[in-house]
Amino acid sequence: MASDRADTTTCSVSLTLFVAALLASLISAGLVWIALVLTGLGCTSDTSHLASWYPVCKAYERGAYLALVIVAFGTQVVGAAHALIRKRAISLLVGLTMSLVLLAAHFLFVPFIY
């Protein structure tokens, strides 16, 4: 316990953890970007009037997926920041995992909410 407290008082973080935090943020942003661009392109294609696309495009136009950016990407950023501040790599993994789960859940449930 005392050693844990002492570890958190050191004034540097490992380069590996720092690079991992940057990479995790890049991966999370890339996944969110790909998901949104695919949705946007799908909603501007000729198939957007089909019933299968209707709820997705409706939610997209109403700005529902803006929440996806904030929630999914924000979760990962908070996890990475916590990992850098507390120097615990597990926070990085938890943040990235939660981000992926929220990304999937958002695309599954948002069309039926909005």
Partner 1 sequence: MASAERANTAQRRCEQQQPRTVPQPVAVAVFTVFASLLFHFVILWAYALITVGEHRTISVVDDVENKIGIFSILVLAKACLGDFPLPILGIPLTISLSGAWLTLRELRLQPALLGLGIGTLSATFGPLVVHNIF
> Residue 79 corresponds to which tokens in the numbers above?
């996890």
* Through-space distance between the first and last CA atoms of the chain, rounded to whole angstroms: 48
> Residue 88 corresponds to which tokens in the numbers above?
């615990």
CB 20 within 8 A of CB 89: yes
What is the binding site for partner 1 (CB under 8 A)? 2, 5-6, 9-16, 18, 21-22, 25-26, 29, 32-33, 36-37, 40-41, 43-44, 46, 48-49, 54, 57-58, 60-63, 65-66, 69, 73, 77, 80-81, 84-85
* Least distance (Å) between residue 43 CB and partner 1: 6
Q: Which is nearer to partner 1, 46 or 108 (CB)?
A: 46
